[in-house]
Structure 1
Amino acid sequence: MINIAVCDDNQHFLDYIEQEIIETLKNIEKAAKIHKFINGIKLLESYSKSDKPFDIIFLDIDMPKIDGIEAAEIIRKKDKKTILIFLTSMEDEVYKTFRYNTFRFIRKSNIDTELKEALENAMRKLTYEKCIFKTVEGEVALYINDILYFEFIDRNVQIITFNHKYISNIRRFKDIEDVFQGREFIKIHMSCMINENYIKCIGDLDVTLDNGKKLPVSRYRIEEVKKRFVKVARGG
């Protein structure tokens, strides 16, 4: 489930944004849980309960006690990935938000048109960056760049991240190939595909990933893996 936070010190405006989000999500046939906060302190308290509680945050710049820019600075120290969308009636303050990897800013005077466009684009970004997998533990939403590799073992695709191994309900490795081939993943043998960004080093017929895991590479694929490794190392 995608989680969206909205933080604004005006209760009427907070309720209005919630309804606009609900209508936009309905029109694009997407589902999300919406969390409302009347001030930045309440929003930040959510981060004491979870490392990354929200996928998208709509954040008012001008709030008492702790403003949106101060809240964004604290959030970014804990959460590099959440999509930050600033709400403002103070357009001269917008430039201050850029240092926080801001996805969009919405002028409150134009919220009827700008919120819809910002939310639709944020959802498209999440569709690419985040996937929902059916696993033996239930449905799990994972960011693509958190996945180290996929491996087909005992007739199931296993999904390995830095912190966990998920056993999916996917019975064909080709189903993973069809979705992730070319999306910064490379197949190293018939039943394993790795995230090329996490290759630490390459041996004669193996790779070691950033978590120390060593995996065998087919002799037919080793040259392509080496080329991709060099390309990523050079930043291109």
Structure 2
Amino acid sequence: MYRIAICDDDISQVGFLESQILSYFEEIGIPNEIDGYHRGEKLIKSIVNQRINYQLIFLDIEMNGFNGIETAKILRKIDKNFLLIYVTSYEQYALESFEVFPFRYLIKPVSAKELRKVLKHSLIELSGKQEYLFYQIGSSHFQVQTSEIILLSSELGRKIHIELQNGDSVSFYGKITSIEKQLSSTNFVKVNSGTIVNMHYIVLFTPDSIQLKNGSYVTISRSRKKIVKSLYNQFIERNFGI
């Protein structure tokens, strides 16, 4: 699922972009969630406080309070991976905005045709950044985006169980040690001998256990408490600047 933010102090502009983006994603069958903001400060606050990872951010340049350049500079310190699309009436800001690495510009008034073109190129770019976990059931081979995985656990040391953010689950024969090698150590952490969690979905971290977004509680083994805490602190600092 793609998380998308739209930030513009023109309420009608936010509504137009949201309706067009929803329509486009519905046509191509890709799940998404869109949040609208009218001030850069509120966008920054939501990302920091709620630990939201947006893949795509549409940002106006001329806004009350923090303008789009100031907002993007702060956002880039928090997350360097999202695609930034400026929506503006002011082409003269192009040079100043280079340091925050905008992916595309949309000039107001935005046409549905140009927006769809930008969305198409954005998805191509984002799909190239997606990481996948590959697994086999019988003679069939499957793949799942690692960003969709909440939790992986080993059942009796012979079977892997995966819980996904959409509520689905997958089970297949395999060893947790071999699966661990496929996963990014910057996003996943092994909390005990048979469980790996995606740190993006942690909602509560205590010295002894972790609560995940789907309501699951996972115990941290005594031998891994220090390393799990260290890796999670690094994850928070890297993604949210906290």
Smaller-chain TM-score range? 0.5 to 0.7
Structure 1 contact 52–79 (Cα < 8 Å) conserved = no
Higher relative contact order (CA 8 A, sep 6+): 2
Deviation at 1:111, TM superposition (A): 3.0
Structure 1 contact 51–79 (Cα < 8 Å) conserved = no
Specify the alignment match of 2:90 in structure 1: 90
Specify the alignment match of 2:30 in structure 1: 30
Number of aligned positions between the proteins: 159
In the TM superposition, 1:98-113 aligns within 5 A as: 98-113=98-113
Inter-partner Cα distance in structure 2 for 1:20 and 1:3 = 15
Deviation at 1:160, TM superposition (A): 4.3
Runs of 4+ in 1 over 4 A off after TM superposition: none
Specify the alignment match of 2:19 in structure 1: 19
Deviates more, 1:112-121 or 1:63-72: 112-121
Specify the alignment match of 1:139 in structure 2: 164
Inter-partner Cα distance in structure 1 for 2:184 and 2:17 = 37
2:188 paired with 1:164: yes
Flag structure 1 segments of 5+ consecutive residues without an equivalent: 142-151, 169-210, 212-236
Question: Aligned AA for 1:89?
Answer: S
Specify the alignment match of 1:201 in structure 2: none
Inter-partner Cα distance in structure 1 for 2:187 and 2:27 = 36
Inter-partner Cα distance in structure 2 for 1:160 and 1:110 = 38
Deviation at 1:32, TM superposition (A): 0.8
In the TM superposition, 1:21-60 aligns within 5 A as: 21-50=21-50, 53-60=53-60
Flag structure 2 segments of 5+ consecutive residues without an equivalent: 132-144, 153-161, 167-173, 197-230, 232-242
Inter-partner Cα distance in structure 2 for 1:122 and 1:101 = 14
Deviates more, 1:51-60 or 1:65-74: 51-60
Structure 1 contact 84–102 (Cα < 8 Å) conserved = yes
Specify the alignment match of 2:218 in structure 1: none
Structure 1 contact 52–82 (Cα < 8 Å) conserved = no
Q: Matched residues, percent identical?
A: 27
Residue 69 of structure 1 aligns to a residue in which SS? helix
Residue 98 of structure 2 aligns to a residue in which SS? helix
Residue 84 of structure 1 aligns to a residue in which SS? strand
Inter-partner Cα distance in structure 1 for 2:87 and 2:38 = 14
Deviation at 1:139, TM superposition (A): 2.1
Deviations 1:156-197 (A, max 9, x none): 6222413533668xxxxxxxxxxxxxxxxxxxxxxxxxxxxx
In the TM superposition, 1:134-213 aligns within 5 A as: 134=149, 135-136=151-152, 138-139=163-164, 153-154=175-176, 157-158=179-180, 159-162=183-186, 164-165=188-189
TM-aligned CA distance change 1:91 to 1:155, over 3 Å: closer
Inter-partner Cα distance in structure 2 for 1:165 and 1:66 = 36
Structure 1 contact 25–31 (Cα < 8 Å) conserved = yes
Inter-partner Cα distance in structure 2 for 1:154 and 1:57 = 35
The CA RMSD over aligned residues, in Å, is: 2.5
Deviation at 1:68, TM superposition (A): 0.5
Inter-partner Cα distance in structure 1 for 2:117 and 2:91 = 18
